[in-house]
Chains A and B, each alone.
Chain A
């Protein structure tokens, strides 16, 4: 893929810069010439299926794994040479964060704070204020072993923040948390990023969650970053010929309407709208299942289509101009990959 992935961030200084970052394990290439720039204060979502090399990339950024070739610069430091300087400024929340289960939440936090050079009183103060921020004040003295998954994850966030980092890296932060917990956690992350000017890099394979809070996403497949940008950019990139997709649903669909629509100027194609398993089913009207179509047009024909349908005596119940969501983007890019 030769498409340039350098996104215009000239007005802001890049806090994370990866250049040709590569990691090989024997014959397998886990990360393949990764170039990425993340600006200060940005929330960047690294999207990709399991085993795409997201964690390896993160470990290389922290200096916990040495890259086979290429270079990373975090806050101006090379993690290979100055691992300690990088680790002072970067907070990392592993995908399966562990705590000392037989110690209390506050003890765990104080230990991390002390390792970051704070003295005992400072460490305790900061730990308490972070527990308050993450809503764990009531559980401060409880052993972490009794915590639920969501609480652990919030404690993990407090643990990451206690060193007052400039960058936080979250590896699959929403894994295994219930929807409400996810909403709270993501809200917490985005408000922290906004309030304290933190740069956030989060990896995930949950598209919708990432979509909610990320300024920019990068799609990462088999060690390669195949696309990066905000969701609108990606959406445009996907739909390069500028086609407009209109979804339409109607009951008592008369004969010949399809042909009539097909004959309209600018209509390219009419496809039956395949509903994805588990997605919203349009309810039957008067015992009749509505017929759903996607009409591909070269420009926006929504009013004309609506008029045509109504004139044909069909009952129009659903009309929508489709925007590409992350799901589609993700799906399309994957399809593109497998075709090659």
Chain B
């Protein structure tokens, strides 16, 4: 029931029109402020984002999620602090260096509470999914989509507003949680972070936003594709479960099926290891955990296999910030790319969809 090229043409025209309008706006700059009718679409985008943020904040699911995450965050700090007090630092080779970062990564051996980073990589996707799974289909089912799109707004503003509003909220939540952990750590261990540690933490939080943004986009994509909010929520959660639980099992299966004997030569063993690593890195969860462990544990100097030859002559010291970043650059690029691809697909899909009320 869909003609494929027509909406695309329409969109190209929209883009051209937009361009024309912005040129017109620049040309008319010195004119006095126009009547309300001539206002730019930027302001309507802002209004839509504002409304979306309001909707999210007042919704029960957001409050519940924040509650869960806050509890998890406090629990993980408690775990880290008790681990530091319990002296588990001695077991690690890093010594007292980058103690502050340990607050984010350390898990207590006696209490089985995961670290803050683990919590974030577990719960983060859930925030993303919760904010996005009914973004488009609920508007369609309520019949507000048709009414909204008959207002003088660009069609893509709608989807951009949905994305931006949720991403902004994620940004606020992640950063406030991160700073909360920092503050509480300062309070409990009384050991201030160095500037480098601070930058590392900010970057870690930023990457977490991107990672959660990926799940947000995926769920928005499902909300465009599926007409029922329940279907899109379930498919998003299925993908999330697949990557966090089942994917590593499947990789393990593949690994044991293709395993080479211990006696095989180095190149064969390396090939095998690289294959498994490669498969692992198809999962955004794996990419995220590699990125954050590298950033928060400066001692890590390689994410792949290292031979003894390569280690000869290496100075045993933590990597500098630039080097750590360089190490995770490919992972970071992949994460951003995955997010963009999801957004691109949802954008194209939405522009092609027919606007009918409750069709």
A contact set with B: CB distance below 8 Å: 24-26, 55, 59, 62-66, 68, 80-85, 87-88, 90-102, 111-112, 114-119, 122, 156, 159, 163
Residues in B whose Cβ lies below 8 Å from that of A99 = 142, 144, 147
Among B3, B10, B142, B356, the residue within 8 A (CB) of A55 is B356
List the 5 shortest-distance A-B pairs measured between CB atoms, nearest first: A98-B143, A92-B150, A98-B142, A117-B39, A117-B36
Q: In the docked arrangement, what's the CA distance between A81 and B166, Å? A: 31
How far is A86 from B43 in the complex, measured between Cα atoms in Å? 19
Contact between B150 and A117, CB atoms less than 8 A apart: no
Please state if A66 and B7 are interface contacts (CB–CB under 8 Å).
Answer: yes
Q: Do A95 and B38 touch across chains, with their CB atoms under 8 A apart?
A: no
Q: How far, in angstroms, from A100 to B147 measured CA to CA in the complex?
A: 11
List 20 additional A-B contacts (Cβ < 8 Å) besides A65-B355, A87-B151. Answer: A25-B1, A26-B1, A59-B354, A59-B355, A62-B150, A63-B10, A64-B150, A80-B10, A80-B13, A83-B17, A92-B147, A94-B143, A97-B143, A98-B147, A99-B147, A100-B55, A115-B151, A117-B36, A119-B36, A163-B152
B238 CB within 8 Å of chain A: no
In B148-163, which residues have CB < 8 Å from any A CB? 148-154
- For B, the interface residue count at a CB cutoff of 8 angstroms equals 41
Most buried by A among B6, B147, B358: B147
Q: Chain B contacts of A95 at CB under 8 A?
A: 357
Write the chain A residue with the least CB distance to B10.
A66
A156 neighbours in B (Cβ, 8 Å): 147
Complex interface: chain B residues within 8 A of A87 (CB): 150-153
Partner of B358, one of A88, A96, A119: A96
Residues of A near B14 (CB, < 8 A) are 83
Instruction: Tally A-B pairs: CB < 8 A.
Output: 110
B37 at interface (Cβ–Cβ under 8 A)? Answer: yes
B355 and A88 contact, CB distance less than 8 A: no
| A94 CB, min distance to chain B CBs, angstroms | 4
Residues of B within 8 A of A163 (CB): 151-152
* Chain B nearest Cβ from A52, distance in angstroms: 15
A26 to B1, CA, bound (A): 6
Residues of B within 8 A of A (CB): 1-3, 6-7, 9-10, 13-14, 17, 36-39, 41, 43-44, 47-48, 51, 55, 58, 139, 142-154, 354-358
Q: Are A84 and B17 within 8 A (Cβ)?
A: yes
Q: Assess the A97–B39 pair: CB atoms within 8 A.
A: no
| Complex: A80 Cα to B12 Cα, angstroms | 11
A residues less than 8 Å from B36 (CB atoms): 116-119, 122
Q: Kindly list chain B residues whose C-beta atoms are within 8 Å of the C-beta of A122.
A: 36
B150 to A, closest residue via Cβ: A92
Given A88-B37, A100-B144, A116-B151, also A24-B3 (CB < 8 A): yes
Contact A68 B151, CB 8 Å, known A98-B143, A114-B47 = no
Q: Are A64 and B146 in contact (CB under 8 A)?
A: yes
